[in-house]
């Protein structure tokens, strides 16, 4: 009979353990359009650390920043089919797919960033997260995307009327096209990665975004006039492919949900610091920041609401957000 030496047995056991642990580690790929170091990228990395720790290393998250896995609209499809496991993305590109995401994407729906944070981390936020699931996507948490304002290469914007006749890039959603149209300007939906060259070549006069994006995507180099009209506070969302989610045990699903929620405070802290830092950078590099009266902008948005909020469910959602103190 074959007698295994003690050494051979130990070596075999070690090999079996190695195979065991290697096959038990699942690598999850996460997409983000922003560069390394951006608050959303760092928040997802932090989520990854929590996951690794809380699952004893069975799951590892790799963050592919700088749109390495594609522009946002394309990554949504890849998440739905399970090609990408995780995605940090704006709510805007989800508007065509998930009606509930249109409400927090409405201009001036939130009174302030604080109002948005409160709503999106409360029961209304959870309700909107749940609305992702029938579309093959698990909503895990909302991050802060600050307030978006218009910027352009042509002239300072001192009032809403100054936008008339100008051409702005918007994210790919009808709400934003109508929002710009309601201000007498023309909207060109295009991927984020094409905005810089779009402004540089004059295809568009400008775009709209928060200070961190305006700064880190270098749009401030080609569009020096930033007007603090803060027309949108569109939350960022962190999602998982339902195909990947369904492979997790219920216990691991709970760990993932909790870790995502636990990464929110980290993102907010990084976000606040980045807004200040980016604003200082663009000001130092010569951007002119104007502060037009917001009321005419707000008043101009009535037709956008009338067109996009017709479903009673969405109307109710709007009313509940507005009623949140």
- Cα–Cα distance measured from residue 36 to residue 29, given in angstroms and rounded to the nearest whole number: 15
What does each C-alpha distance from 268 to 87, 142, 262, 314 come to in angstroms? 18, 10, 11, 27
Piece in contact with ligand GTR (CB under 6 A), picked from 62-70, 85-93, 255-263, 309-317: 85-93
- Cα–Cα distance measured from residue 145 to residue 264, given in angstroms and rounded to the nearest whole number: 12
The residue (of 116 and 255) whose beta carbon lies closer to ligand GTR is: 116
Piece in contact with ligand GTR (CB under 6 A), picked from 18-26, 206-214, 253-261, 300-308: 206-214
| Token pair 């569009």 in the structure block, residue | 223
The residue (of 145 and 206) whose beta carbon lies closer to ligand GTR is: 145
Structure tokens at 234: 């569109």
Q: Kindly tell me which residue out of 28, 30, 31, 33 binds ligand GTR, with binding defined by CB under 6 A.
A: 33
For residue 309, is it left (φ>0), alpha (ψ between -120 and 50) or beta?
A: beta
**8 Å CB contact between 174 and 94:** no
Burial of 88 (0-12, 13-18, 19+ CB in 10 A): buried
3-state DSSP helix/strand/coil % of the chain, to nearest 5: 50, 20, 30
Q: Kindly tell me which residue out of 48, 139, 145, 292 binds ligand GTR, with binding defined by CB under 6 A.
A: 145
**Residue 208 Cβ vs ligand GTR, minimum distance, rounded to whole Å:** 8
The residue (of 31 and 55) whose beta carbon lies closer to ligand GTR is: 31
Structure tokens at 307: 């067109």
Q: Identify the bridge partners of residue 64 per DSSP, sorted by sequence position.
A: 31
Q: How many CB atoms lie within 10 A of CB 201?
A: 9
**Residue 122 Cβ vs ligand GTR, minimum distance, rounded to whole Å:** 22
The residue (of 87 and 244) whose beta carbon lies closer to ligand GTR is: 87
Q: Per CB under 6 A, does 72 bind ligand GTR?
A: yes
Binding-site size for ligand GTR (CB under 6 A) equals 12
Q: Identify the bridge partners of residue 88 per DSSP, sorted by sequence position.
A: 238
In the region spanning residues 161 to 180, those forming contacts with ligand GTR, defined by CB under 6 A, are 171
Three-class SS of residue 237? strand
Q: Per CB under 6 A, does 90 bind ligand GTR?
A: yes
The residue (of 59 and 231) whose beta carbon lies closer to ligand GTR is: 231
Q: Per CB under 6 A, does 236 bind ligand GTR?
A: yes
The residue (of 87 and 121) whose beta carbon lies closer to ligand GTR is: 87
Q: Per CB under 6 A, does 216 bind ligand GTR?
A: no
Q: Per CB under 6 A, does 209 bind ligand GTR?
A: yes
The residue (of 61 and 239) whose beta carbon lies closer to ligand GTR is: 239
Site string for ligand GTR, 102-141 (x = CB under 6 A): ----------------------------------------
Q: Per CB under 6 A, does 210 bind ligand GTR?
A: yes
Nearest Cα residue to 86 out of 285, 252, 237, 269: 237
The residue (of 80 and 169) whose beta carbon lies closer to ligand GTR is: 169
For residue 200, is it left (φ>0), alpha (ψ between -120 and 50) or beta?
A: alpha
Piece in contact with ligand GTR (CB under 6 A), picked from 53-61, 120-128, 205-213, 293-301: 205-213
Q: Per CB under 6 A, does 192 bind ligand GTR?
A: yes
Q: Identify the bridge partners of residue 189 per DSSP, sorted by sequence position.
A: 170
95 phi and psi angles, rounded to 5 deg: -55, -40
Q: Which residues bind ligand GTR (CB under 6 A)?
A: 33, 72, 89-90, 92, 145, 171, 192, 209-210, 213, 236
């Amino acid at each position: 009979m074959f007698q295994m030496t003690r050494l051979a047995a130990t070596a075999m056991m070690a090999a079996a353990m190695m195979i065991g642990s290697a096959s038990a580690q699942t690598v999850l790929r996460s997409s983000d359009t922003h560069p390394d170091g951006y608050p959303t990228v760092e928040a997802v990395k932090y989520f990854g650390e929590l996951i690794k720790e809380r699952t004893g290393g069975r799951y590892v998250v790799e963050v592919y920043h700088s749109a390495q896995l594609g522009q946002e609209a394309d990554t949504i499809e890849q998440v739905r089919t399970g090609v990408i496991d995780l995605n940090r993305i704006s709510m805007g590109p989800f508007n065509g797919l998930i009606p509930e995401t249109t409400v927090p994407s409405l201009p001036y729906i939130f009174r302030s960033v604080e109002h948005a944070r409160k709503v999106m981390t409360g029961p209304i936020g959870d309700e909107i997260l749940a609305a992702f699931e029938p579309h093959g996507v698990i909503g895990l948490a909302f991050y802060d995307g600050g307030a978006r304002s218009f910027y352009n290469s042509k002239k300072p914007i001192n009032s809403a009327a100054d936008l008339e006749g100008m051409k702005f890039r918007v994210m790919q959603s009808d709400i934003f096209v109508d929002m710009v149209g309601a201000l007498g300007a023309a909207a060109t939906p295009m991927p984020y990665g094409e905005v810089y060259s779009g402004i540089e070549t004059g295809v568009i006069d400008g775009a709209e975004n928060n200070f961190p994006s305006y700064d880190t995507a270098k749009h401030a180099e080609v569009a020096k006039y930033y007007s603090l009209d803060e027309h949108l506070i569109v939350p960022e969302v962190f999602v998982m492919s339902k195909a990947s989610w369904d492979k997790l045990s219920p216990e691991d699903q709970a760990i993932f949900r909790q870790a995502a929620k636990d990464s929110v405070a980290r993102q907010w802290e990084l976000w606040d610091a980045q807004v200040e830092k980016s604003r200082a950078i663009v000001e130092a590099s010569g951007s002119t920041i104007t502060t037009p009266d917001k009321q005419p902008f707000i008043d101009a948005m009535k037709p956008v609401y009338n067109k996009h909020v017709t479903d009673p469910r969405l109307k109710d959602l709007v009313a509940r957000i507005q009623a949140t103190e």
